[in-house]
Structure 1
Amino acid sequence: MVDHLSRRSFLTGAAAAFLAPGAVSANAPERSLYPQARPDGLNGPERVIRSAGLRGDVAFAVADAQTGLGLEAFGGDSTLPPASVAKALTALYALDVLGVDHRFATRVLAAGPVEGGILKGDLILAGGGDPLLDTRHLAGLAARVKQAGIHEVQGAFKVYDGALPFVKSIDPGQPDHVGYSPAVSGIALNFNRVHFEWKRAGSGYAVSMDAPAGDYRPAVAMAKMQVARRSLPIYTYESGPRLDSWTVASGALGNGGARWLPVRLPGLYAGDVFQTLMRAHGIALSRVEVVRDLPQGTTELARHESEPMRDILRGMLKYSTNITAEMVGMSATAARAGIPASLEASAQEMNAWAVERFGMQSPAMVDHSGLGPASRLAPQDLVRALVAMHGDGTLRSLMKPFLMRDASGRVMTTHPIKVDAKTGTLNFVSGLGGYMTAADGTQLAFAIFTADLETRAKIPRAQRERPDGARSWNRRAKGLQQALIERWGALYGS
């Protein structure tokens, strides 16, 4: 049962009501294509929504992707949390401002002269906003510093993370231990996550905190874990000026296991690992110092360049990595308007860009990943952007296929409708936005947002990783998404 159905209405009037700016309908119908509500009963979309048995609010919009002609919409101009569907907007922002070939550079700099292999000054690991930097890349940088002839550093060891704002947690409302809400800054290593592993050892446990990638597995000193004799809470966290301090409940460990935990001090984390890798080449570095500014007159000793933006965004859309969205989004803002003061300020700049670029009416994002529940977006606004970018084809080529399923949940590989879209899931929030090709080749752009914000607001912070009822609610939301897609395929593509 959908709450507030009586307050929901279909968009009526001119069929071009949410055309993207500049879009042209060559064969506009003489009457509106929006279905008209009948006074004596429910119309098609209302029946589909009620059949889903979904508590909360529903809003959607669908348009002809080639002409921009609005075909059907529900929820008026309602704005709802887009969850990770927001990453589609962030991808467009990064592509428009930075370009498909943009690469991020992480550098090692010498702040002082090098004489006889001795750096008589500071060594600086300078982050450049690369969201995919991992331990293997730092190992390559350490090797290139050695190849540059350096065997001793007399000055300080600094890590520069000032290319982007420092954000302690993407969404502070998330539990401390979830790896999808780490800190963000101008440098990120292993998605700013540290690997915690435990094994039973006698009457207790042996634990490790390290930074594995490929063949490398350096131990991490800036994150510590202590096993506590308790059942709950499973994790506790305390932040110090130079240390992430964790405890874990012994009653939750079993015989052994591992998980990734978020890093809250990304500059220290990257510096800690780089120290270890440099030590393997016989180069000792002093205590890590994190700085927000770079000195003038440095010399580049080594450089690592990221994959091009198109590949970064393809991975972001496929795996829905929040930190990637935040870093590419803030990097786009930095290029467009200067380094933002905060994550929310960067999101506001993206909102302004969306209004200018696509004629959006009410974008209200508070981040670039959609993790923040305060973000709001109207389906019609997203459809405007999807229609405007359809002819280019770049965004759809980066999106992940949305697989249609039968009543038992099995993938239907021969389903005539093909969908490429971005999913979005928070507790009691689900979204889907992208493109579909109907059986006759008709291409549509759509966005579907659903949310039970009343139930979501009641979840205690400690239970937000897997709250009761969220999985079944999400299953119904996904069923509604498929039902709507199949409806549109039948109505407009057969």
Structure 2
Amino acid sequence: MANRGTNLSRRWVLAALGAGAAQGALANAPLQAPRPAPRPAGLQNAAAPDAAALIAKARLSGKIGYAVADARTGEILEAKNPLLGLPPASVTKALTALYGLEALGPAYRFTTQVIATGPVSGGRLDGDLVLVGGGDPTLDTDMLADLAAQLHAAGLREVAGRFRYYAGALPSVAAIDPGQPPHVGYNPAICGLNLNFNRVHFEWRRGSGGYAVTMDARAQRYRPEVSVARMQVVNRAAPVYTYSSKGGVDEWTVARGALGKGGARWLPVRRPALYTAEVFQTLARAHGIALPRPEAADRLPGGTALARHASAPLPDILRDMLKYSTNMTAEAVGLTATRARSLPALSLDASGDAMAGWMETRLGAHKARFVDHSGLGDASRLSAAEMVRALAQVGPDGPLRPLLKTIALRDDQGRPMRAHPVEIRAKTGTLNFVSALAGYIRAPSGPDLAFAIFTADPARRASLVPAERERPEGGRAWVGRARTLQSDLIKRWLALYG
């Protein structure tokens, strides 16, 4: 079944790559257009703002590269610094989606199983019970509870052997980007057994005796408390959070003065496999099944599957990944795709290299460099020309465009124009002093366009100390100006070509 799914994917994606995209034309297209080709009856051309004036108005420090092309022929219509490699940020996820679709196929589902290594008789398992992860990035506490309910329905009540968990479907990664602040929930650990996007819910309420604190693995139906992560409120001004690892537990502290009356936030989990196993043990107990303390399994054991959970189909997962820009989903999909191609994936950097090689072979990008699959690491590099080539190779009728989020064009006051007839489907990307946007533009008349706009100030980003990285001074204003430039360039291209 797995091989058929992979072959289906390859035929499906490669057919899409060929549909509506002229590879020869794209390979030979000019990379720097001195000026846009005029359209007949050029009234719109006369009204189009000058690109240099738009860039000057944006007052962006750092570097800018962009390109726009006919999405079906690949002809470059306009470009600035098209070969300049800049951090693509979360635009990387659009390429990860294509990488995953080709390697895994659109019918692919991540699977989580509970395996018994011996027979069940009279409600008792004579052997070990093993929770086996398949790398599912979307598994949550409610889904784990459904697995426990399946065990109960199968008649299981106790386990004579051990309760074990296996996370070897993917390599163990302590954090997507080690340079991020320790407490940001978008930078969790990754492994083959993940839960709740590998985050724990921290909630606090102030009472007469101090703060009441909970750390739980909440979902819609269940919210079990956990012991694999602990929080202590301490008297200090800064930093707001500290993290350390002691005795197999994530130890957190938080500054009392930062808490106020009450609140909540998600914190990253650094031991996701143990976290998942502990939550499953609690949920099994709630379903009348007594499990021993969880132990890690180094190898995938043989046995009989007593319970099984399959994720949503891969395109649904990718659509949500691109809409909400979930880093953990991108890394799990990318790592799984690399392993499905029988390539080494011992780290995110190695798997990123494999995706860059795939992009060169399939999509004609010769200088792309990826250190991960989410774009969180700022050492990745991609040029606007390479991104536009990839988009045109796939084509506006290919598998990517329907997965991309619809981006509203904005008026001069920055308000979204919901009723505007132009459809923009694209992926945004944002890091401190990095902003990117790439995708497709479809207007009522004129050609479908493929575009990429990359802006970055690497020097300013590199100068930030760890305490500044969550909310750096000037960062929000810089990104706001970058987004205004993106909107202005798109309006220009619509006036000229749409």
Instruction: Give the TM-score, by structure 2 length.
Output: 0.90
User: How far 1:24 sits from its partner (Å)?
Assistant: 5.5
What does residue 209 of structure 1 align with?
Answer: 215
Aligned length: 466
Question: Is the contact made by 1:164 and 1:339 (CA closer than 8 Å) also made in structure 2?
Answer: no
Q: Is 2:480 the partner of 1:475?
A: yes
> Aligned partners of 2:54, 2:299: CA distance in 1, in Å?
56
Partner residue in 2 for 1:167: 173
In the other structure, the counterpart of 1:131 is 137
Q: Distance in 1 between matches of 2:321 and 2:203?
A: 26
Q: 2:111 aligns with which of 105, 110, 113?
A: 105
Q: What are the residue-to-residue correspondences of 1:26-41 with 2, within 5 Å?
A: 34-36=33-35
C-alpha displacement at 1:120, in angstroms? 1.4
* Residues 381/292 of structure 1: CA separation in 2 closer, same or farther (3 Å cut): farther
The partner residue of 2:387 within 378, 382, 386 is 382
Work out whether residues 83 and 424 of structure 1, in 8 Å CA contact, stay in contact via their aligned partners in 2: yes
Give the distance between the partners of 2:386 and 2:180, measured in 1 at CA: 27
- C-alpha separation between the residues in 1 aligned to 2:247 and 2:274? 10
Higher mean C-alpha displacement, 431-440 vs 474-483: 431-440
Alpha-carbon distance, 1:68 to partner:
1.1
Residue identity (%): 57
Question: Partner amino acid for 2:34?
Answer: P
For 1:279, the aligned partner's letter is: R
Displacement, 1:290? 2.1
Deviation of 1:437 (Å) = 1.4
CA distance in 2, matches of 1:45, 1:301: 62
- CA change 1:276–1:339 in 2 (3 A) is farther
Query: Which of structure 1's runs of 4+ aligned residues deviate more than 4 A?
Result: none
- Aligned counterparts of 1:32 and 1:252: Cα–Cα separation in 2: 51
Task: Confirm or deny: 8 A CA contact 1:21 1:358 kept in the other structure.
Answer: no
Aligned to 1:259: 265
Residue 64 (structure 1) shift: 0.3
How far apart, in 1, do the equivalents of 2:61 and 2:457 lie?
6
Unmatched segments (≥5 aa) in structure 1: 1-19, 38-42
Q: 8 Å contact 1:80–1:450 — kept in the other structure?
A: yes
SS at match of 2:437: strand
Change (3 A) 1:108 1:35: same
Match of 1:6 in 2: none
Partner of 1:155: 161
3-state SS of the aligned residue for 2:151?
helix
Shift of 1:47: 2.2
Cα separation, 2, equivalents of 1:291 and 1:488: 56
For normalisation by structure 1, the TM-score amounts to 0.91
Letter in 2 for 1:52: A
Residue among 452, 455, 464 paired with 2:460? 455
Q: Is the CA contact (8 Å cut-off) linking 2:32 and 2:80 kept in structure 1?
A: no
Structure 1 stretch displaced more, 314-323 or 152-161: 152-161
> What is the match of residue 280 of structure 2?
274
AA at the equivalent of 1:488: W
Contact 1:163 1:339 survives alignment (8 Å)? no
The one-letter code sitting in structure 1 at the alignment partner of 2:391 is L
Counterpart of 2:76 (choices 54, 60, 70) is: 70
The one-letter amino acid of 1:134's match is D
1:179 is aligned with what amino acid? G
State the SS of the aligned residue for 1:139: helix
Q: How far apart, in 2, do the equivalents of 1:230 and 1:461 lie? A: 18
- Give distance in 2, aligned partners of 1:126 and 1:392: 38
Unaligned runs of 5+ in 2: 1-19, 37-48
| CA positional deviation for 1:21 | 8.1
Give the aligned residue type for 2:261. N
Q: What letter is aligned with 1:35?
A: P
Alpha-carbon deviation of 1:391? Answer: 4.9
Per the TM alignment, residue 411 of structure 1 is displaced from its structure 2 partner at its CA by 1.0
Q: Cα gap change, 1:164/1:231 in structure 2, threshold over 3 Å: closer, same or farther?
A: same
The reply to whether residue 23 of structure 1 matches residue 28 of structure 2 is no
- Please show how residues 75-474 of structure 1 align to structure 2 within 5 Å: 75-295=81-301, 297-338=302-343, 340-474=345-479
Q: Quick check: 2:116–2:129 contact (8 Å CA) kept in 1?
A: yes
Distance 1:413 1:117 in 2: 58
